[in-house]
Chains A and B, each alone.
Chain A
Amino acid sequence: MAVLPTTHYEASAADDYLPLLRRAQTGDFAAFESLVGQLQGRVYGVAYRILGHVQDAEDVVQQTFLSVIEHIDGFRGESAVATWVLRIATNFALKSLRKKRGLPTVSLNTVDESFADVPHPQYIAHWRESADSRLDRSELRELLDRAIAELDDKYRVVFVLRDIEEMSTEETAEALGLSISNVKVRLLRARMQLRERLTRELGDDATRVEPDHRH
């Protein structure tokens, strides 16, 4: 009889954080602190990029790991530890965002978004030799921060989870309560807008080409 593949994450991929999590589940505080030490930077980065505010990001980090403690018994390994933690962080970040915007709680994703609505590229050019050749590190960071902050919240969150944190489309959809199709459209919108913005700053004008709208 064929053995069905397990969907349990533990069996499918090495999760560097799983041994620490398992020890923490038995009350090993040092293991928990080690896990925090290794993940807090990523949690902070996700929160800061979504919220754009240091204090708000700190609050999310705090809430996230307190929640991890509270629900640590419930982690069964259906996802990687990091994915689980980042999903908790994303939920807190989104709650904070909705509160700031004066919006009600979770908005249901009932509208199918379309690729037809994605704006086409306008400024198309090669980037100059090295993206940081004319900008120093802090100027580049400032540019990247500004560009990502200019994205609509719903596109920014997808970009942060998919492209920066490298969650899969399915994980991102589950974390945000979106359909896979909407994740894909929002991701493309985010990528195209960031591309447009950065190319206007980093592009070589001499290589600029006109967009071809025939196709």
Chain B
Amino acid sequence: MTCEEMLKALNDVIDDQSALALCTEFADHLAGCNPCQLVVDNIRKTIQLYKDEQPYPMPEAFQDRFRDAHKAKWKVKFPHAEV
């Protein structure tokens, strides 16, 4: 397997561990290549760190302005609706 073929397959392996079972060549390569195992592990951990991040808090002052703007727009869109 060439380097470019490995890079092409890397996304699929990261996204779907079952792809590993289908990609014998990639699996065989990983089994014998510590650097590549580490890279795959690093990438998985990187993605997980970003997924686990706490949501960014929206400033409260903005939330009030934001709500007022929606109400105004809603009244135009649905003139008979209760807001």
Contact = CB atoms under 8 A, between A and B. Distances in A.
B15 to A, nearest CB: 9
B59 to A, nearest CB: 7
Interface in B32-83: 33-36, 38-39, 41-43, 45-47, 49-51, 53-56, 58-59, 62, 65-67, 69-71, 73-74, 77-78, 80-83
Contact of B66 (A48, A61, A115, A141): A61
Main secondary structure of the interface of A (DSSP, over half): helix
Contact of A164 (B36, B41, B42, B50): B50
B6 interface: yes
Residues of B in contact with A, size category: 35 or more
Nearest to B63: A40
Nearest to B83: A29
B33 A164 contact: no
Given A45-B55, A61-B58, A141-B53, A195 B43 contact: yes
Chain A to chain B: the 4 pairs with minimum beta-carbon distance, closest first: A27-B81, A27-B78, A41-B55, A115-B7
Interface of A: 27-29, 32-33, 36, 40-42, 44-45, 48, 54, 57-58, 61-62, 65-66, 69-70, 72, 114-116, 118, 120-121, 124-127, 131, 137, 140-141, 144, 148, 159, 163-164, 166, 184, 187-188, 191-192, 194-195, 198-199, 203, 209-213, 215
18 contacts: A27-B78, A29-B71, A29-B74, A33-B67, A33-B70, A41-B56, A58-B66, A62-B65, A65-B66, A66-B69, A124-B35, A127-B41, A164-B51, A191-B46, A192-B43, A194-B46, A195-B46, A212-B36
Interface of B: 1-4, 6-8, 10-11, 14, 29, 33-36, 38-39, 41-43, 45-47, 49-51, 53-56, 58-59, 62, 65-67, 69-71, 73-74, 77-78, 80-83
